[in-house]
């Protein structure tokens, strides 16, 4: 199978003084330290942070029309529409948080912004955390959201956008669909994938070495968390390795995928593994690398110097028209 895998430069902010000051401030806040320690310590810190994030699932504002879709009888997926009727194109937007930090009220604001910039409906799933649920349960929840969307949109008109663990989830979705289709199902793939800083758990010495080398540069995600994440994402259950080591998943028939990484993040260590898996699957992908940039910078438009990469992602979505393929 032929596969096109290439790497291009993404917008960066190495010459932006305000960006440098922001990075210095973030380091002083010691955010990455919250992910260091035993599993119990890390989960306890995350639980305290989640407890402070109290906000309505469905916003009460009139800036958009919101539809709350109940998934699996217990989870929510909020559809944000800026028009009086549902559009022909949509985005499945999956947030990140290491599988332990939940969404905050800024995420729906970002959904509205993405909807405004792309003209698409934006679906935002509130998937369960790995405090009490395992990674496979999350993949299944995202799959249910996707199949719900297929009732309203053609698959080629759906873009999957995710950051950090959300980026890993939309990639795991490809593996899950392939697994079902191998059993006789006929689930169509979406039209486009854009995972921003997707994670994975290390499975070999090469990945571990790359993570260790990047650890000193990363201001948000310590290398040690990616080892701890395996235990957290299993949540005491037997989870298939392919849904933990996402970089080694099954990407057969995956649509064009645009990966975004900062060269100064530990998760950039998994880019070669994702590239290898895509080549093996015969799928096409492009790696957009922001030199000197941090974890998930490409969606953090509010940070000085990060807006150009965010704008580039919005342009990728606007330039994509699935029905014309």
Asked if residue 2 has pLDDT above 90, the reply is no
> What is the separation of C-alpha 69 from the centre of its chain, rounded to a whole number of angstroms?
20
3-state DSSP call for residue 75?
strand
Residue with tokens 């698409």: 120
Asked if residue 325 has pLDDT above 80, the reply is no
Q: DSSP letters along 82-149, please?
A: SSSS--S-EEEEE--STTTS---THHHHHHHHHHHHH--EEEEEEPPPTTTS-HHHHHHHHHHHHHHH
Q: For residues 322 and 47, which has the higher predicted lDDT (pLDDT)?
A: 47
Sorting pLDDT into bands at 50, 70 and 90, what band is 56?
confident
Mean pLDDT of 158-168: 97
Q: Which residues contact 325 (CB under 8 A, 6 or more apart)?
A: 156, 191
Q: Which residues contact 85 (CB under 8 A, 6 or more apart)?
A: none
Residue with tokens 């509010």: 302
Domain CATH code at residue 300: 3.40.50.1820
Asked if residue 180 has pLDDT above 70, the reply is yes
pTM, 2 dp? 0.96
Sorting pLDDT into bands at 50, 70 and 90, what band is 324?
very low
Asked if residue 110 has pLDDT above 90, the reply is yes
Counting the structural domains of the chain, the total is 1
Mean pLDDT of 268-277: 98
Q: What local confidence, expressed as pLDDT, does residue 41 receive?
A: 96
User: Tens of pLDDT along 93-104?
Assistant: 999 999 999 988
CB count within 10 Å of CB 204 equals 10
Sorting pLDDT into bands at 50, 70 and 90, what band is 3?
confident
User: Tens of pLDDT along 282-300?
Assistant: 999 999 999 999 999 999 9
On whether the CB atoms of residues 24 and 34 are closer than 8 A, the answer is no
Domain limits at 247? Answer: 5-324
Q: What local confidence, expressed as pLDDT, does residue 323 receive?
A: 55
Query: Residues 225-243, buried b or exposed e (16+ Cβ, 10 A)?
Result: bbebbbebbbbeeebeebb
Q: What are phi and psi of 282, to 5 degrees?
A: 75, 25
User: Tens of pLDDT along 228-248?
Assistant: 999 999 999 999 999 999 999
Q: Which two tokens stand for residue 129?
A: 């955390």
């Amino acid at each position: 199978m032929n596969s096109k895998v290439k790497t291009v430069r993404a917008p960066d902010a190495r010459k932006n003084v305000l960006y440098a000051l922001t990075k210095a401030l973030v380091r002083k806040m010691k955010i990455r330290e919250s992910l260091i320690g035993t599993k119990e310590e890390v989960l306890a810190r995350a639980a305290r942070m989640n407890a402070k994030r109290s906000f309505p699932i469905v916003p009460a504002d009139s800036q958009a029309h919101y539809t709350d879709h109940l998934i699996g009888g217990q989870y929510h997926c909020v559809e944000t529409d800026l028009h009086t009727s549902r559009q022909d194109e949509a985005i499945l937007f999956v947030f990140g948080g290491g599988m332990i930090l939940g969404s905050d009220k800024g995420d729906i604001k970002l959904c509205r912004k993405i909807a405004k910039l792309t003209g698409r409906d934006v679906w935002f799933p509130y998937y369960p955390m790995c405090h009490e649920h395992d990674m496979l349960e999350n993949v299944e929840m995202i799959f249910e959201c996707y199949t719900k969307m297929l009732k309203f949109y053609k698959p080629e008109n759906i873009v999957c956008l995710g950051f950090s663990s959300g980026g890993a989830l939309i990639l795991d979705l490809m593996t899950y669909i392939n697994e079902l289709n191998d059993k006789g199902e006929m689930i169509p793939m979406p039209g486009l994938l854009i995972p921003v800083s997707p994670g994975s758990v290390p499975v070999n010495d090469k990945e571990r070495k790359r993570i260790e080398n990047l650890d000193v540069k990363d201001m948000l995600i310590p290398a040690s968390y990616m080892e701890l994440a395996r235990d957290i994402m299993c949540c005491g259950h037997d989870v298939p390795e392919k849904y933990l080591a996402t970089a080694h998943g099954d990407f057969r028939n995956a649509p064009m995928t645009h990966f975004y990484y900062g060269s100064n993040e530990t998760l950039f260590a998994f880019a070669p593994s994702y590239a290898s898996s895509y080549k093996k699957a015969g799928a096409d992908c492009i790696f957009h690398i922001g030199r000197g940039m941090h974890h998930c910078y490409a969606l953090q438009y509010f940070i000085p110097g990060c807006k150009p990469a965010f704008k580039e992602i919005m342009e990728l979505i606007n330039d994509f028209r699935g029905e014309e393929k």
